[in-house]
Amino acid sequence: MPLPPPPSPSPSPRMPGVAGGRLFASLPPPPPLRSRREVHVWYLLPDELNDASLLKMYTELLSPSERKNALSMNGEKLQKGAVLSRALVRTTLSRYTDCKVDPRSFEFKKNKFGKPEILWRSDDSRMERPLHFNISHTSSLIACGITMDTPIGIDVEDKKRKTAKNILSLARRYFTPSEIDYLAKIPDPDGQQKEFIKLWTLKEAYVKALGRGFSGAPFNKFSIILAANNRIQISVAPKVSNGSDSSCDCLSENWQFALAELNSSHCMAICIEDDSTSSDSENGRLPLGLKVWKTIPFVEDILVSGTEAVKLVS
Amino acid sequence: MAAPVSAVAAGSATVTYSPALRVQGMDAVSFRVSASFNFPRQRANFQSIRARRIPKRFQVSCSAKQETVDKVCEIVKNQLALPEDTTVIGETKFVDIGADSLDTVEIVMGLEEAFQISVDESSAQEIQTVEDAAALIDKLITEKDA
């Protein structure tokens, strides 16, 4: 997938810098999401966040039920991860409302399949186009992707994550024939593990973008194809005509993907809806515009896209 | 019959009891136990709550065999490489022990292999606790042997 176009010569949007140690400072507004093709990702590293007063502040941003959920996790590390996840979602969303909406005041609902969405109150008319978000976490990195007006799915995984089960066994159980073939052809175990993680995160990102849950988009019903030119394509198994099958809505292929190595430690996959017309595809399709920040909310934001911390695979 | 309740509090937790209803004609009072945890303000560290989670209602019936529950706990603990002292019991929720989607599919595969069953995606999606997994396994085994 081609790299996003270089920044335009017009005055660049204010790059957030170090806000200094003053906590409770308002979150610096990020550059706006200029189009439906732009995806902004904010991530944090839980292992770097050990300051008790900062964690306490994050905890206070959560709703009572989020706090209760976080505390019901088994062990300090998981509890901290749960708090940071919610704090990241809330602070990130707040940034994109010009900080007019306090992180604490967001409310969430789940769609009928369980995908979390923002619950906007009817008087929030200032939000002309809805914000979409999706979150993914591993024990060492939590990422929140945000878009304007297009559904998004994001998945991150430790790039070195080892599976307990053999890769090809997992693939045979859950993936499609073309994906199994792709993996089976890779001679070395490390290479195979790496490609498995790429396919896994891409498939997860698609399912999360679709918002229908794991059973709404079974992994073995769609294939991710990693082409030689780094293009990522999705191919849906042709639906067998069966009058009684009303449970599985046709899986769509009009989705766009981005894959990157994040922080030199994680594999990140993003999936957004593709609104290009068929004449745009192949040659004219615009690249997905990706901007990534590493953040410690209220303390520090660092724009890392364009640096070594974000290596676009495609 | 008043059920014994153990409330182990890590200093900052308070547990309140309020008798719910008195069953007519019986000498039984069921206690609805609610635990409220005050987030420690004085403490410098981010403290975990060490109290055992107290269920809101005491369940008498078990829909899964204890043997199955134990086997599931073992498979889960192995998959997640949990520290030795981690409690995994029937009521344990997979999300609460940090099982992500990749862990979950590996656990499901492990269960399929151990019990010689096949779990479809929509059934797998319904599983929230170890108990749920065990109940599904027992059901699938019964159906298989029928």
* Residue A279: per-residue pLDDT: 47
Task: Out of A51-60, A295-304, B14-23, B101-110, pick the least confident.
Answer: B14-23
pLDDT for residue A260:
94
Q: Spell out the long-range contacts of A88-92 with Cβ–Cβ below 8 A and sequence spacing 24 or more.
A: A88/A42, A88/A43, A88/A44, A88/A135, A88/A142, A88/A144, A88/A295, A88/A297, A89/A133, A89/A135, A89/A144, A90/A61, A90/A62, A91/A27, A91/A61, A91/A295, A91/A297, A91/A298, A92/A42, A92/A133, A92/A144, A92/A146, A92/A295
pLDDT at A198 over 70: yes
Asked if the structure places residue B42 within a domain, the reply is no
Q: Which residue numbers of B are catalytic?
A: 100
Tell me which residue in A55, A75, A157 faces B48 most closely, judged by beta carbons.
A75
Among A271, A261, A277, smallest CA distance to A310 is for A261
Give chain A positions within 8 Å (CB) of B79: 164
pLDDT surpassing 50 at residue B8: no
DSSP state at residue A18: B
The parent domain of residue B129 ranges over: 66-145
Which residues in chain B touch residue A75, judged by CB atoms under 8 angstroms apart? 48, 83, 86, 98
Query: Which of B37, B98, B110 is the closest to A71 by Cβ?
Result: B37
Which residue in chain A is spatially nearest to B49 when comparing CA positions? A71
Residue A215 has its nearest CB partner, among B53, B93, B125, at B125
Residues of B with Cβ-Cβ distance to A200 under 8 angstroms: 102
Is some CB atom of chain A closer than 8 A to the CB atom of B38? no
**A163 vs B contacts (CB less than 8 Å):** 102, 106
Contact B52, B26 (CB under 8 A): no
Residue B27 lies in a domain: no
Residue B53 lies in a domain: no
Q: Is the model more confident about A311 or about B130?
A: B130
Of A280 and A217, which is predicted with more confidence?
A: A217
Q: Quickly list DSSP for B75-88.
A: HHHHHHT--TT---
- pLDDT of B45 > 50? The answer is no
Q: How confident is the model at residue A241 (pLDDT cuts 50, 70, 90)?
A: low
Residue B115 lies in a domain: yes
* pLDDT at A189 (0 to 100): 94
Rounded to an integer, what distance in angstroms lies between the CA atom of residue A272 and that of residue A257?
A: 7
Inside any domain, residue B82: yes
Q: Is the pLDDT of residue B132 over 80?
A: yes
From B106, B48, B116, B64, select the one nearest B81 (Cα to Cα).
Answer: B106
Q: How far apart are CA B118 and CA B100, in angstroms?
A: 21
pLDDT in tens, B86-124: 889 999 999 888 888 899 899 999 999 999 999 988 888
Query: In chain B, how many domains are there?
Result: 1
For tokens 């769509």, the residue is A252
User: Greatest CA separation found in chain B?
Assistant: 60
Q: Which residue has the higher pLDDT, A1 or A167?
A: A167
Considering chain A, what is the average pLDDT of its residues? 83
Asked if the structure places residue B58 within a domain, the reply is no
**What's the gap between Cα A112 and its chain centre?**
20
With CB atoms and an 8 Å threshold, state whether B49 touches A71: yes
pLDDT in tens, B53-76: 555 554 444 578 999 999 999 999
Size of interface A-B (CB pairs under 8 A): 72
The enclosing domain of B126 has a CATH number of 1.10.1200.10
Question: Does residue B93 sit within a domain?
Answer: yes
Quote helix, strand, coil % in chain A, to nearest 5: 25, 25, 50
pTM of the model: 0.77
Chain A: closest CA distance from residue B36 (Å): 9
Rounded to whole angstroms, the Cα distance separating B11 from B8 reads 9
How many residues in chain A?
314
Q: Is the pLDDT of residue A132 over 90?
A: yes
pLDDT at A126 over 90: no
**Residue written as token pair 């067998």:** A240
According to DSSP, residue B93 is labeled B
> How much helix, strand and coil, in percent to the nearest 5, is found in chain B?
40, 15, 50
Which domains occur in chain A, in start order?
A: 38-238+251-275+287-312 (3.90.470.20)
